[in-house]
Amino acid sequence: GDSVTQMEGPVTLSEEAFLTINCTYTATGYPSLFWYVQYPGEGLQLLLKATKADDKGSNKGFEATYRKETTSFHLEKGSVQVSDSAVYFCALSGLSSGGGADGLTFGKGTHLIIQP
Amino acid sequence: KAGVTQTPRYLIKTRGQQVTLSCSPISGHRSVSWYQQTPGQGLQFLFEYFSETQRNKGNFPGRFSGRQFSNSRSEMNVSTLELGDSALYLCASSPSTGSGNTIYFGEGSWLTVV
């Protein structure tokens, strides 16, 4: 079945540092790829998405490019802020995802801590 | 536009009881899906409903069930609760179904089974 692998962390960075969170996936066909963010005590918020190979999703300074040749969707940000501290989830949606046709398959989540 | 609304936000139940969680999707959204989040297993897909029909189901026992009403609101039910059912249950909605749709999540219902 489909799967998503990402570093779990915690990842600790200083403010204004460059961020990369790696995400690789295994899926049949051509899945759509997503990054979600979860702040403490809250639900998931969509950060960005890409629906086909070579698409770049971007939002709030974060970017990720859908790389089919390396089955990756790494999240990057040039200069992180304390307010970016959260848990980041990489996810895919495709055939046979989560046991069904359209459910999201999530990675384990990466806990990001930004220190002032 | 209001987001996905889940009720109740917090609840405590005893082993063997059953629980019903409610979800109101974003206005105009016809697809509702449910996920379970635990520290050990992470986020796992439970099921998806579209136009009152269950389209697909994750790998959960039959104690977990759901339904969708004609106004797209959804409920999920867990019967014969076990300690391991303690989790954050997230409801999500999207305009339609299909892998390219953006899925929007509610804040979740925190269930504690004692």
Q: Tell me the per-residue pLDDT of A19-75, one tens digit each, with 9 for 90 and over.
A: 999 999 998 888 999 999 999 888 899 999 999 999 999 999 999 999 999 999 999
Task: Assess whether pLDDT exceeds 90 at residue B113.
Answer: yes
Q: Is A77 on the interface with B (CB under 8 A)?
A: no
Share of chain A above pLDDT 70, in %: 93
Residues of A (21-60) whose Cβ lies below 8 Å from B = 31-32, 34, 36, 42-46, 49, 51
Predicted confidence at residue A40, as pLDDT, reads: 86
pLDDT digits (tens, 9 = 90+) for B18-49: 999 999 999 999 999 999 999 989 999 999 99
Question: Is the pLDDT higher at A40 or at B92?
Answer: B92
What is d(CA B70, CA B65) in angstroms, rounded to the nearest whole number? 17
The full 3-state SS of chain A, as one line of letters, equals CCEEEECCCCEEEECCCCEEECEEEECCCCCEEEEEEECCCCCEEEEEEECCCCCEEEECCEEEECECCCCECCEEECCCCHHHCEEEEEEEECCCECCECCCEEECCCEEEEEEC
**Cβ distance A74 to A66 under 8 Å?**
no
Predicted confidence at residue A18, as pLDDT, reads: 97
Q: For residue A100, name the pLDDT band (cuts at 50, 70, 90).
A: very low
8 Å CB contact of B105 and A95: no
Task: Assess whether pLDDT exceeds 70 at residue B17.
Answer: yes
Q: For residue B56, name the pLDDT band (cuts at 50, 70, 90).
A: confident
Q: For residue B1, name the pLDDT band (cuts at 50, 70, 90).
A: low
Q: Which residue of A has its CA nearest to B54?
A: A100
What is the rounded average pLDDT for all residues in chain B? Answer: 93
Closest partner residue to B43 (CB to CB) among A32, A89, A94 is A89
Region A76-81: mean pLDDT is 97
What is d(CA B35, CA B42) in angstroms, rounded to the nearest whole number? 10
Q: Is B43 on the interface with A (CB under 8 A)?
A: yes
Task: Assess whether pLDDT exceeds 70 at residue A99.
Answer: no
